[in-house]
Amino acid sequence: MPIRIYKNARVRIGINYSSLAAHSTSLLELTKKFDFWLYDFAPPGADWRLLESFPFSGIVLTESFFNDNYEKFTFPFFMATFREKRGRGNRTKSYAALNR
């Protein structure tokens, strides 16, 4: 019996960079049904092109990460590109790490 996946406007799936890097093709297929948010921002040496090309609907950053990185060159560039795609950004004091 085939599995049916129904889109629900209230469902957002959070993924981290390591999951995106490992499963980008499969996750890209799922963007037809679900909205994805990026959690656990990319580590140093991350492929920024992968982040820019994936259609995230939002990003969640800790307050400390935002404060440490908002003036660095690649971060403002990424956020500007993200805003052009109408993505939402949220800052939070902390959040639970996603299961890996």
The confidence score (pLDDT) of residue 58 equals 81
Do 38 and 82 share a structural domain? Answer: no
pTM for the full predicted model: 0.62
Do 56 and 73 share a structural domain? Answer: no
Task: Indicate the number of domains in the chain.
Answer: 2
Model confidence band, residue 22 (pLDDT cutoffs 50, 70, 90):
very high
Long-range pairs for 46-51: beta carbons < 8 A, 24 or more residues apart: 46/17, 46/21, 47/21, 48/74, 48/78, 50/20, 50/21, 50/24, 51/17, 51/20, 51/78
Do 53 and 70 share a structural domain? Answer: no
Domain assignment of residue 54, given as a range: 1-60
Do 26 and 9 share a structural domain? Answer: yes
Do 77 and 31 share a structural domain? Answer: no
Is residue 54 in some structural domain?
A: yes
Do 86 and 72 share a structural domain? Answer: yes
pLDDT tens for each residue of 68-87: 766 665 666 666 766 676 65
Is residue 99 in some structural domain?
A: no
pLDDT tens for each residue of 36-47: 888 777 777 888
Q: Is the pLDDT of residue 23 over 90?
A: yes
Do 70 and 56 share a structural domain? Answer: no
Do 71 and 47 share a structural domain? Answer: no
